[in-house]
């Protein structure tokens, strides 16, 4: 099993720092703490580690600057706080890294940036270019423009998506807890720290706790989910206490700080990482038993003849969930026909598609190259 030393030996790290740490639990940006983390990141860069920083804190900093004591529920007020706080957050990082003669770049992402294939590739190319020019990308969600929800889920999830995006070796999530315990340490004095776990172990969920404070949007559960997602591309994840002295440098040396989440399987190809984790489903295709068996056991493409139900409103190229006769999602894939077209051809053999639609875009409803089993 992978050790802390082996996990930390990777040369590309995504480091995520939570808002409770960055803002000293809501008292404004903790510039001294940020400076200490930057000092460590600069040393890691000098050691040859490529660094992508995912930083929370814009909304929390905005609340302080606006004099608000509680995180608002209204989207427009959250967006206003993010816009105000982002200014201070980026300025703080720029000043801290400049002490080491290092340049920074601000990258603001939305879920759409990672669900649109071309924008996904553009984001990946930009991040890789910045790293190659010895620039530290500071990534945050573009909270000022999202309309469906203020967050990806939280910046833990964003960190894991960025780890997939750049094919990182290690995702480090710095939090205000020592790592994952076998039970919530805030309610159980006998809770024990787990030093190493499998990222996909379903038992971990029962050990997780919700968010502790009013500023952060995540909890240990989101970190477990982030580790599982990061594992899709083969990345290890370490969840550790950001207030531990020289935590990043000590992790680099292989100290067993925090909890190490190791992948359960070999990484998916980059295209299938994207299919598996980055896309929002626009619809569903339900299979008969035979089609589900062929799809899952033989690695075949999905043909229209094996589909008996279409749900949702989607167009060609959208991602759909592919479900078996019990309604369990067995795969995700990019569909070759719109929902209206699919409704007309399900249950039909491929050679009948042209006679029904007047054309045949592809013989498959979902090609195996655009499909990933889950």
pLDDT, tens digit (0-9, with 9 covering 90-100), for 105-160: 999 998 778 777 667 778 888 999 999 999 999 999 886 776 554 455 568 889 99
User: What is the full DSSP assignment across 146-204?
Assistant: --S-SSSS-HHHHHHHHHHHHT-SEEEEEESSSS-BSS-TTT-TT--B--EEETT-TTH
Distances (CA, A) of 16 to 163, 241, 247, 340, 346: 10, 12, 13, 42, 45
User: What is the pTM (predicted TM-score) of this model?
Assistant: 0.75
pLDDT tens-digit profile of 286-345?
A: 999 999 999 999 989 999 999 999 999 998 888 899 999 989 999 999 899 999 999 999
Q: Tell me the pLDDT tens digit for each residue of 208-254.
A: 754 544 444 458 888 998 999 899 888 999 999 999 999 999 999 99
Give the residue from 202, 155, 221, 199 showing the smallest Cα distance to 14: 155
Q: Quick one: which H or E segment has residue 269?
A: none
Which residue from 285, 174, 256 is spatially nearest to 223, judged by alpha carbons?
A: 174
pLDDT digits (tens, 9 = 90+) for 29-85: 999 999 999 999 999 999 999 999 999 888 888 998 999 988 888 888 988 998 999
Task: Give residue 100's pLDDT.
Answer: 97
pLDDT at position 148 = 56
Q: Which residues pair with 372 in a beta bridge?
A: 332
Q: Residues 6 or more apart from 222 whose CB is under 8 A from it? A: 153, 154, 156, 157
With b for 16 or more beta-carbon neighbours within 10 A and e for fewer, the 340-365 pattern comes to: ebbeebbeeebeebeeeeeebeeebb
What does the CA dihedral 153, 78, 212, 157 come to, rounded to 10 degrees?
Answer: 20
User: In order of start, what are the domains of the chain with their CATH numbers?
Assistant: 4-272 (3.40.1160.10), 281-373 (2.30.130.10)
Residue 149 has phi, psi (to 5 degrees) of: -165, 155
Query: For the segment 1-39, what is each residue's pLDDT rounded down to a tens digit?
Result: 578 988 888 899 999 998 888 887 667 899 999 999 999
């Amino acid at each position: 099993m992978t050790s802390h030393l082996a996990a930390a030996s990777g040369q590309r790290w995504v480091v995520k720092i939570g808002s409770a740490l960055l803002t000293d639990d809501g008292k404004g940006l903790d510039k001294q703490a940020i400076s200490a983390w930057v000092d460590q990141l600069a040393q890691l860069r000098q050691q040859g580690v490529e660094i992508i920083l995912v930083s929370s804190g814009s909304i929390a900093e905005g609340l302080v600057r606006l004099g608000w004591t509680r995180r608002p529920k209204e989207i427009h007020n959250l967006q206003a706080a993010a816009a105000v706080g982002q200014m201070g957050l980026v300025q703080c990082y720029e000043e801290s890294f400049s002490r080491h003669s290092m340049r920074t770049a601000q990258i603001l992402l939305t879920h759409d940036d990672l669900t649109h294939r071309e924008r996904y590739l553009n984001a990946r190319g930009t991040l890789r270019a910045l790293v190659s020019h010895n620039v530290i990308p500071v990534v945050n969600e573009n909270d000022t423009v999202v309309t469906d929800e203020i967050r990806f889920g939280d910046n833990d999830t964003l960190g894991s998506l960025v780890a997939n995006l750049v094919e990182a070796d290690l995702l480090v999530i710095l939090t205000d807890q020592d790592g994952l315990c076998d039970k919530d340490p805030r309610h159980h004095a006998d809770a024990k720290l787990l030093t190493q776990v499998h990222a996909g172990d379903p038992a971990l969920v029962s050990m997780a706790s919700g968010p502790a404070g009013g500023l952060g949007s995540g909890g240990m559960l989101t970190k477990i989910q982030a580790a599982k997602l990061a594992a899709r591309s083969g990345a290890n994840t370490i969840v550790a206490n950001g207030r531990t002295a020289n935590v990043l440098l000590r992790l680099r040396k292989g100290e067993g700080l925090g909890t190490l989440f190791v992948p359960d399987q070999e990484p998916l190809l980059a295209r299938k990482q994207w299919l598996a984790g980055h896309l929002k489903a626009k619809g569903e295709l339900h299979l008969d038993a035979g089609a589900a068996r062929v799809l899952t056991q033989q690695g075949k493409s999905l043909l229209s003849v094996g589909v008996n139900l279409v749900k949702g409103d989607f167009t060609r190229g959208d991602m759909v969930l592919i479900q078996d006769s019990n309604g369990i999602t067995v795969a995700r894939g990019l569909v070759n026909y719109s929902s209206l077209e699919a409704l007309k051809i399900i249950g039909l053999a491929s050679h009948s598609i042209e006679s029904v639609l007047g054309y045949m875009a592809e013989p498959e409803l979902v090609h195996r190259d655009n499909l990933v089993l889950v």
